[in-house]
A and B are shown apart, each in its own frame.
Chain A
């Protein structure tokens, strides 16, 4: 149980650029905070600085208000589950879990009670006598979680625990971590590059890129109110479609000219555009603006059917993938690639002529220079 606070933390590995460039955040007592970002964004470095495995170049890390920058890992009472599990190969599962308790000089009976208790929670009682080398990935992961948990640490750090787990076990492993968090109430910092995992687990998440924090917030915040293009495209599966357009605002219509050879225009009636959006977008009148739309919000149909509606744009289908419960189509519109999620009822083939449509309410706009999100109040 503890509050973790990072203030303007930097990490430099002796090269020109900092690996972590001044990040600050607070992880509240009992909160599950997810550090999310592409590889090399500094999330694992940040976690390792919290653990004490990396020195802090500049800035302050506090646990419950106490600066811990210069404490050794042993003195921080922080537990960590490693990406590679880092189990002691010569010790049985039982001894692995008991290992952190032995140094605490607890009685044999107390150690035994706590090992069995945590083994029960993680359902590994039946493998307590095995050696780590004989365990499956999922079992190893649970043992490493058990070893970290058994100490009842103030903060529990988890580094990419699911990256070596078979896909079909992902869901269960994720649920287990959530379960541990709920039952123990420990403050957790969880590092991952997988946005699905992050959204599923996080109380709040921190999206990092190139050593800086892009945005901190609940998964919903990041999904519906991304601060910039990076956040919007990262928190989206499949990634958000982003297309450079030229915006034109008329009396009754808002036009988006898609970049490219031909003249392809998305039309929206001003009536369906909230006035605050009109305000926010007005200064881009006649200028370039980046339009974003999630693949889930792009409607697709064969050209033959319907047609003639203003909002629709013609396109040519490039690739159609059938997933388990939906299809994904890549459509070329005037040289711009759109991905759209399609229901299973309609099937498509490559080079089909299709039409795409989308609602204004589903569009996101970004400044082409700063890539910041042009935010306005949504419905």
Chain B
């Protein structure tokens, strides 16, 4: 009986793995295929791999120059926007999370909920008014504009993850520091922050991933100057042909930073994702 349920469990896990990893494997395979192999029916599992797509992406082959420039600049844009957004969210969010975790002020939970509610509304529902506002106040296609709107993604994550981290630190440790003669600010800096670095790292990486993946803000509020990689990938779909191989190669490159980030904080990530609900 026990053995059977184990088999079922493993079967389910294998199916889940295929479901989750299948597309990834598909994309990686595609990025090494030449144009004929990509569109071959039935799909070829065994083929002669080629690096042409990657070479073209970085401008090492015929006709690659244009796409190379586009690809690299949108990669850079994503890097700037994601890092900038997370940095700004850190500066605002970590003290905010500390305040929500430790201080008692009126409407505290309402504030916390307000930030969380940023994540409730699908971006697409607010994008049209935002587009008009951005055009008028001259934030359209500016890094600062992108970073500001990305706060909707990164700020709630950072506030809620850091809140649970701060709440897990026993309050007595802080109070001991007060009695030892340290001010609240000194205590936060010298006692709490060293304990919270793990949380800060987790929260910032998680927020980076969400920023990295965003599509709609970049599509609607950015243009040539700030277009992120998610939107940049679309340009491989031309009017006459779709460059599947290069698109796959670009996708692979684009997700490498995310995979590195996930692996580096995998241990903390599960804890961060549960928002401290499971202690």
Contact = CB atoms under 8 A, between A and B. Distances in A.
Given A84-B172, A86-B172, A103-B186, A78 B179 contact: yes
B255 to A, nearest CB: 35
Contacts of A43: none
B178 A84 contact: no
A90 B194 CA distance: 8
Interface string B134-159: 00000000000000000000000000
A169 interface: no
Nearest to A103: B181
Q: Is the contact region of chain B dominated by helix, strand, or loop, or is it mixed?
A: helix
Given A89-B195, A90-B195, A82 B175 contact: yes
A82 B176 contact: yes
Contacts of B172: 82-84, 86
B170 interface: yes
B131 to A, nearest CB: 47
A100 B170 contact: no
B164 to A, nearest CB: 18
Interface string B165-191: 000001011011111111100100001
A73 B186 CA distance: 14
Contacts, number: 56
A94 to B, nearest CB: 15
B176 to A, nearest CB: 4
B175 A53 contact: yes
Given A88-B191, A103-B186, A151 B180 contact: yes
Nearest to A72: B178
Interface string A338-374: 0000000000000000000000000000000000000
Contact of A73 (B178, B194, B195): B178
Contacts of A78: 179
A104 interface: yes
A230 interface: no
Nearest to A104: B181
A100 B195 contact: no
Chain A contact patch, size range: 20 to 34
B195 A103 contact: no
A100 B173 CA distance: 13
B180 A100 contact: yes
A4 interface: no
Contacts of B191: 88
Interface string A94-116: 00000110011000000000000
Contact of A80 (B173, B176, B183, B186): B176
Contacts of A136: none
A51 B174 CA distance: 13
A53 B180 CA distance: 12
A147 interface: yes
B46 to A, nearest CB: 54
Interface string A67-94: 0000011100011101110111110000
Contacts of A87: 173, 176
Nearest to A157: B179
Contacts of A83: 172
A163 to B, nearest CB: 14
B175 A100 contact: no
A57 to B, nearest CB: 15
18 contacts: A52-B178, A73-B178, A73-B179, A80-B175, A82-B172, A82-B175, A83-B172, A84-B172, A86-B172, A86-B175, A88-B173, A88-B191, A89-B173, A100-B181, A103-B181, A103-B182, A147-B176, A148-B179
Interface of A: 51-53, 72-74, 78-80, 82-84, 86-90, 99-100, 103-104, 147-148, 151
